Structure 1
Amino acid sequence: MNYFNFGPPAYPLDKFPVLVRETARELSWHLQAPDALIAMSLLAVMSAACQGRIKFKLPTGQVRPVSLNIFAIAESGERKSALDDLVARALYDFVARRQAAHDLAMEQYERDLAMWDDVAQVLQQKRSALIRKGKPTDEVTMELAEHRKIKPARPRMRKMVHQDLTGRAFADAINGNGESIAWMSAEGDILLRSGAMKQLGWLNSAWDGSTLTLDRADGKSVVARNPRVTISLMAQPSAFRQHMARHGEQARGTGLLARFLVGWPASTQGKRFLSAAEPSWDNLTRFHERVGELLDEYDQALAAGSIDQTILTFTEDATTRWIKLVNDAEPLIRPEGAYHDINDVVSKASEMVGRVAAILHYFSEQEGAISLDTLERAIVIVGWHVDEFQRIFSETSDTSIAHGDANILARHFHTQVWQKGFASVRRNDILRFGPVALRVKRRLDPALDILVANGAVWTNRDRRGRSYVNLNGQFFNNFFSF
């Protein structure tokens, strides 16, 4: 596993619909957070906004939810909290509106309950008096039974956005039919330590939209039908490493990890500069408006007692393309295939493509079936995450080996060169005295290329043609060896 991150290729922001793409660029310009972190935040919020309103039909005939699981790994200082506050603001505003409506409903409920109690007390007293007098109570008993049927129901507070969820709280949140929640945090260690994160089977079923019957400790059962759960967490590398050390094998073995779009973007720290210009959030404002519209539509449907969701389908050419995607991917997961070490992710990727395509289609208010163009955009987006999963988790891919070697080489430079007071080293000396595994050009060159690409080192030749590797002081002064 590549615990030292040198960064993936640039995120394909150009594949987002116009509003989302321009919102991402606006956030990138003003916040200067990593593009992939911005993109994953936007995807999570779009998923939460759309999941209660739509589902989609695969060419295989299965009808599936569109909910996404997002797992972003980013260092402290990458502006995760600021990004969450900005992108998810419409979700938090929706929660506030729900809370205000719930407060009003509770006030009315308490008034109605007080009146109901008064009538119930009068009927009970009347019945008791008849009993004392030895008179028939059939009529008043029937009145009392009918009255009990109309006892006011306590309003349910549907808290959509959650952070620290216990197993019971998770069960209560999705109890019912078609409940939609977003479980998200910019401080991912809170979410990773929560009780619900240990319920891997529940989380898998929630992603699948399957019916869940959960037995609680108080003896009551919770039945969640058609749950819609978006999970989005941003975790620091230390929290990520700790979680993977404790639960990674189980998360991978049960298929939960394969249900996540993961990303570990390269840092923008050291490349961010302030501007005196007043930030303009025109596109973000329109993004929030669209999120708010979708969430309000969902609440209106709930209030009307209808949780029927629009089922999106693919156009004929998009269907043909999706089938080709599945067939082309199959040989890649054979033992000799390029993705054999992440076959669990590839097996879910085609469905993830469908989910992302449906979200892009609905969020951007496209009409009719999901087009080939939208599907192609989703293929590129999900493809970035598939490659990122392999980069982070694979033990055998060439990319993984090169990044692992870069990690080893960086540690060697830090301990054997930089900390001993030197700022450069001859390349031939690395081949002679460097890490044993890297004393061959075919291993050393790719590792050096990665370090150069990420600004850790640069190379040059002296007048005699000898090649040197020069160490970037800013990088190695802040180097942390895992």
Structure 2
Amino acid sequence: MQAHNYYAPTPCHPPANVPNPAGYPLKELGTLLAPAVIRHQVNTGVAVEMIASYARSISHVCVQDLFDVQRPRCAPSPVCAYDLVSADSSEGKDTASRPFIGFLRKYEEEQTELNAAAHLDRLADTAAWKAQMRALNKRLDQAATEGDDLKDLKIEHKQLIARRPDRAADPKLIVDNVTPGALENMIGAGSKSLFITSTEAGGLLNGRLGRSTDLLNNAWDATPIPKDRVDKERTFAIDYRVSGHLALQGPVLQSIFARTGHLAHGSGLTARMLLTVPHSTLGNRFLRSDQSATFDEIDALGERVTALLKEGAARRQRAEARRIIVFSEQAARYFDDTYNHIQANLGRGQILHDVAAHAGKSAEQIARIAGMLYGIEGREGPLQVDVLERARIIGYWHLDQFLAHFGSGQPGDQRVIDGQVVRQALVTIASRGLGYIARGEVKKWCTKPLTTVRFDQAMQLLIDQGYVLLHKRGRTLLVAANLWR
């Protein structure tokens, strides 16, 4: 296939009976995911793109502990995904999520019941081990007090430490209210596969976990995470996988990014998120007495998700490595074309420049989506170009969403909002006949308090757009409003 010479997702035409004003590429989800999404939309009337985000997200979860994907000339990467949905109250976030999150909750409950006896055994083993340790510590204390040789007791202590039972815990998959420390503990206990989710994620993003961007970034990359404890040796969380799906109301998202957006964007957290801003269905979701809900397609997806989750758990028990999905020769060339195409649109003056941090991750996001499709559909052999092309279309749709929400001049661009404040200050200064003044003085005229970072970003945007005249006096750079702009 030839490289694309302009940035635009390939159009998709979903079934006529499914409202899809945002043009979500439904058919690219394939013959298992797409029918489940369509069926849930027909049953509920909720925005199809929001339903699709949940269906795709849980599909990443069920394959993330079975597969890694290896892009050309790169080390294997996880197939995990972070999703962020911005939808206002009563738009059906809980309704959209219910059957798909329900697959995971049902699996979790079944595993807890199956592990009930083993859980009690582990509790008993742990209690017995602690009793042995207390007794041994008393013998060590006594021997040290009496000046006896401690050599044999130290060997016995090492042997007992090595026999420490695994911590008794219910199998955990869904994490919906977690602190950074708790997340580190869960992924630090060995090979774990977790899913962070919330349909009202404002509290989570405003809280400690939302500010722990390094931890969340490392979790997306499955990077070993060190954990230091007082008087204990350093440990590492390794061989884990974490996906996430966070949904919150639009005003809450705007409020969070108005205060801390620079942290999320600058840290790379939003670069790792597949954004969905669904169209409003308020006033259009009517009940009909002649309509009956059916769930065959949804149940079929649930059976596949459960089977893959069980397969992942069995792999861990056997201590086997995850399967690595490699690219076919044709898919590798197509991936290079896609990567280069995105890169060509990242430069200054190009359409993706203002969201370069996010767009720069798009090629990897596409590879992860392709890995998810490969796993959920039970593919064998190298990744073929047809799967990669479907993943590219889905990835580009989410990239479009991010560009529309956070690109320059869009409602979510905090620089534009702050730029209006700074420009009004410059106009006020000009109306007083003050002419050129130092940048720092302009900040004092702003009617809304701005941090230094936000003021500098807004000023640079105004300069780039030609709203500011510059004048150098010695080593000082002075500014004034360009009233002719």
TM-score, normalised with respect to structure 1: 0.73
**Aligned partner of 2:42: which letter?**
W
Q: Distance in 2 between matches of 1:112 and 1:12?
A: 52
Residue in 2 aligned with 1:35?
A: 48
Q: Distance in 1 between matches of 2:323 and 2:142?
A: 57
Residue in 2 aligned with 1:279?
A: 293
**Conserved 8 A contact 1:106-1:154:** no
**Aligned partner of 2:72: which letter?**
P
Deviates more, 1:95-104 or 1:253-262: 95-104
Residue 299 of structure 1 is aligned with which of 294, 313, 336? 313
Residue in 1 aligned with 2:258?
A: 245
Whether 1:321 aligns to 2:321 is no
Residue in 1 aligned with 2:219?
A: 206
Whether 1:10 aligns to 2:16 is no
Query: Equivalent residues in 2 for 1:294-443 (5 A)?
Result: 294-306=308-320, 308-396=321-409
Q: Distance in 1 between matches of 2:138 and 2:348?
A: 79
**Conserved 8 A contact 2:46-2:95:** no
Q: Distance in 1 between matches of 2:244 and 2:132?
A: 46
Residue 234 of structure 1 is aligned with which of 247, 250, 255? 247
**Aligned partner of 2:314: which letter?**
Q
Q: Distance in 2 between matches of 1:215 and 1:120?
A: 23
**Conserved 8 A contact 1:172-1:222:** no
Deviation at 1:120, TM superposition (A): 8.2
- Residue 46 of structure 1 aligns to a residue whose secondary structure is helix
1:313-344 deviation digits (Å, cap 9, x = unpaired):
11111111111111222221121212221111
Deviation at 1:245, TM superposition (A): 1.5
Residue in 2 aligned with 1:479?
A: none
**Conserved 8 A contact 1:164-1:190:** no
Q: Distance in 2 between matches of 1:127 and 1:348?
A: 55
Deviation at 1:124, TM superposition (A): 10
Pick closer, same or farther for the CA change 1:59–1:110 going to 2, 3 Å. closer
Fraction of identical pairs, as percent? 24
Deviation at 1:191, TM superposition (A): 2.4
Residue in 1 aligned with 2:33?
A: 20
Deviates more, 1:14-23 or 1:153-162: 153-162
Residue in 2 aligned with 1:433?
A: none
1:119-160 deviation digits (Å, cap 9, x = unpaired):
8899999999999xxx99999998887667545443243421
Residue in 2 aligned with 1:184?
A: 197
**Conserved 8 A contact 1:390-1:400:** no
- Residue 88 of structure 1 aligns to a residue whose secondary structure is helix
**Aligned partner of 2:294: which letter?**
S
- Residue 16 of structure 1 aligns to a residue whose secondary structure is helix
Deviation at 1:257, TM superposition (A): 0.6
Deviation at 1:196, TM superposition (A): 1.6
Q: What is the number of residues matched between the two proteins?
A: 394
**Aligned partner of 1:229: which letter?**
V
Residue in 2 aligned with 1:442?
A: none
1:322-373 deviation digits (Å, cap 9, x = unpaired):
1111122222112121222111122111111100011011101112111111
Pick closer, same or farther for the CA change 1:16–1:217 going to 2, 3 Å. farther
Residue 119 of structure 2 is aligned with which of 106, 115, 135? 106
CA RMSD of aligned residues (A): 3.4
Q: Distance in 2 between matches of 1:68 and 1:387?
A: 17
Q: Distance in 1 between matches of 2:269 and 2:139?
A: 60
1:38-96 deviation digits (Å, cap 9, x = unpaired):
11001110111111111111012331111101000111111111222211111111221
Deviates more, 1:187-196 or 1:226-235: 187-196
Unaligned runs of 5+ in 2: 1-19, 417-485
Unaligned runs of 5+ in 1: 1-6, 405-482
Query: Equivalent residues in 2 for 1:26-175 (5 A)?
Result: 26-112=39-125, 150=163, 152-175=165-188
Deviation at 1:114, TM superposition (A): 6.0
**Aligned partner of 2:306: which letter?**
G
**Aligned partner of 2:25: which letter?**
P
1:101-122 deviation digits (Å, cap 9, x = unpaired):
4432231234445666788899
Q: Distance in 2 between matches of 1:142 and 1:375?
A: 56
**Aligned partner of 1:385: which letter?**
H
TM-score, normalised with respect to structure 2: 0.73
Whether 1:289 aligns to 2:303 is yes
**Conserved 8 A contact 2:254-2:412:** no
Residue in 2 aligned with 1:460?
A: none
**Conserved 8 A contact 1:11-1:36:** yes
Deviation at 1:8, TM superposition (A): 6.8
Pick closer, same or farther for the CA change 1:380–1:101 going to 2, 3 Å. same
Pick closer, same or farther for the CA change 1:115–1:69 going to 2, 3 Å. closer
Deviates more, 1:27-36 or 1:171-180: 171-180
Deviates more, 1:235-244 or 1:106-115: 106-115
- Residue 278 of structure 1 aligns to a residue whose secondary structure is coil
Residue in 2 aligned with 1:412?
A: none
**Conserved 8 A contact 1:33-1:78:** yes
Whether 1:194 aligns to 2:207 is yes
